[in-house]
Amino acid sequence: MEQMPQPKPLTETVIVSSADTQEKYKRDWKYKDYSFEKWEKNGFLTTKEGLPSKLDRECYELVRTPEFKNWFGDWEEKGENASKMIDPQTGEPQVFYRGDKSLYKEGFLVKPEEERTIGKYDKSYVSQLSKAQSRNQGVFFTDNEKVALEYGTDIKAVSLGKYNLHPEKDHPKTFLKIRNWLESFANKDPDFWKKVLDYTVNPMGPGVSDETYKRNLLAYFQRHNFSKQDSESLWQEVHTKRRLTNPGYYIDLFVHNGAFENLIRGFSSQSFKAPDAPFGSPWFIKFGSKNTPEWSKQFKQLALEYFSEPLALSTVFIRSKKPKKMRYVNVDGGFEIYKARIEGHDAFIHEKGVGKHTKGVPDKADEIIVYETENIWTVRKKPLAEEIMRAKK
């Protein structure tokens, strides 16, 4: 999706400058989801009707430009062609948020169109049914910033970052740090690959027969487009625990074949494993305890930095002239979401559908699904890595 232009505003910014008037607004404050202090921080901006605006200065000026109104519809004149995504209290365009791993991308991390749209790509009824039941029909947003942050900072959430992430392009500041650290560590440990692949490849653990282990290993390499020669060579290193090839060569294979994240997670299993813990026992040890070796602490920090780097909080406006609203939707299935799409709705609103346990959010927030990215105007993306680092200290 192309980044939208940031044009100059059409109208003058309306600000409450009188201290007496500001105090009157404070006494009569009626917004429950937006504080007077936040309004003050944003500069006491008001609508032309004199209502306190919930928008910050950048968004306030943007929505009043002719370019935005041509895209969104003339919300101030309440024209028939205007988007329905309006704040009911202020009458201004509603702001929405999304947390995901798209900091270095123009759009968002979603499944490709052919994986979420029933059509020419489907070869069977089963494929069509699978898509119809999937919730991945579009791009997900919420009207609550804290809820979006919670999703955005969940670095384990596969749905928020699995698709189209590149080790180097999406981690330009942290990739080489963790890649070179892994190579340095592997050079010192001839058993490196067996330790990593025990938990990356083999779901039954290290206690299985060599024949089964090899079969699982070679099947894994085949799925990730490793050549037969490279697969056999790495199997020999795992089997003999002897260094046959520079480990950097294999690490780069994991990078170029889209399996680098699996390598990190496999090594992570080993970096937190108690030295004397047998397979099948609780093997995660508390990070920072006296039993944690220094190299394990180093790796955990590098891994956290790597997975956090592409995380971003996006602030957007949504254009929807025909949204579908529902109060109760099965969270595990998405047939209603698909049904709304084929009925001609351009967005789906799951009212009070997300954020049940978000700290500081007394009630659930709305979940908004936009089917087409052309109906999204991205105002900005805020990097979250530093925020995550501070929270982890």
* pLDDT tier for residue 66 given thresholds of 50, 70 and 90: very high
Q: Are residues 101 and 224 both part of a single domain?
A: no
Which has more confidence, 151 or 379?
379
In a domain, 14, yes or no: no
In a domain, 3, yes or no: no
* Per-residue model confidence as pLDDT tens digits over 23-33: 999 999 999 88
pLDDT value, residue 362: 65
Which tokens is 134 given? Answer: 């999937």
Helix, strand or coil for residue 270? helix
pLDDT value, residue 40: 94
Q: Are residues 369 and 272 both part of a single domain?
A: no
Residue 195 amino acid letter: K
* pLDDT tier for residue 1 given thresholds of 50, 70 and 90: very low
Strand order in the sheet with 95-100: 323-326, 347-354, 365-370, 139-142, 95-100, 312-318, 376-383
pLDDT value, residue 277: 36
In a domain, 383, yes or no: yes
Which tokens is 231 given? Answer: 């697969």
* Per-residue model confidence as pLDDT tens digits over 291-325: 678 888 888 889 889 988 998 999 999 999 999 99
Q: Are residues 199 and 228 both part of a single domain?
A: yes
* 140 in Cβ contact with 134 (< 8 Å): no
Q: Are residues 107 and 25 both part of a single domain?
A: no
In a domain, 11, yes or no: no
In a domain, 26, yes or no: yes
Geometric angle at alpha carbon 350, from 345 and 353, rounded to 5°? 165
* Per-residue model confidence as pLDDT tens digits over 163-193: 568 899 999 999 999 999 999 999 988 888 8
Strands 376-383 and 139-142: unpaired
Query: What is the total count of domains within the chain?
Result: 3
How far, rounded to the nearest angstrom, does the alpha carbon of residue 367 sit from its chain's CA centroid?
Answer: 15
pLDDT value, residue 243: 87
Is residue 369 over pLDDT 80? yes
Residue with the two structure tokens 């006296």: 290
pLDDT value, residue 46: 94
Q: Are residues 186 and 256 both part of a single domain?
A: yes
- Beta strand ranges found along 197-345 (DSSP E): 312-318, 323-326
Q: Are residues 294 and 323 both part of a single domain?
A: no
Q: Are residues 83 and 146 both part of a single domain?
A: no
In a domain, 6, yes or no: no
Q: Are residues 36 and 140 both part of a single domain?
A: no
Which tokens is 74 given? Answer: 């003339």
Q: Are residues 112 and 235 both part of a single domain?
A: no
- DSSP conformation letters of 317-333: EE--SSEEEES---TT-
Q: What is the mean pLDDT of residues 96-115?
A: 82
Which has more confidence, 267 or 181?
181
* Per-residue model confidence as pLDDT tens digits over 195-230: 888 766 655 555 678 888 888 888 888 888 899 999
Q: Of 255, 284, 308, which marks where a domain is finished?
A: 308
* pLDDT tier for residue 333 given thresholds of 50, 70 and 90: low
Report the distance separating Cα 37 and Cα 205, nearest Å: 55
Q: Are residues 301 and 199 both part of a single domain?
A: yes
In a domain, 375, yes or no: yes
Q: What is the mean pLDDT of residues 136-143?
A: 85
In a domain, 68, yes or no: yes
Is residue 286 over pLDDT 70? no
Q: Is the pTM of this model over 0.85?
A: no
Is residue 36 over pLDDT 50? yes
* 178 in Cβ contact with 302 (< 8 Å): yes
Print the domain residue range for 160: 96-165+311-392
Q: Are residues 296 and 186 both part of a single domain?
A: yes
* pLDDT tier for residue 104 given thresholds of 50, 70 and 90: very high
Q: What is the mean pLDDT of residues 246-268?
A: 89
Lowest mean pLDDT among 77-81, 142-146, 154-158: 154-158
pLDDT value, residue 187: 92
pLDDT value, residue 223: 86
Q: Are residues 88 and 102 both part of a single domain?
A: no
Q: Of 76, 93, 110, which marks where a domain is finished?
A: 93
Q: Of 63, 93, 123, which marks where a domain is finished?
A: 93
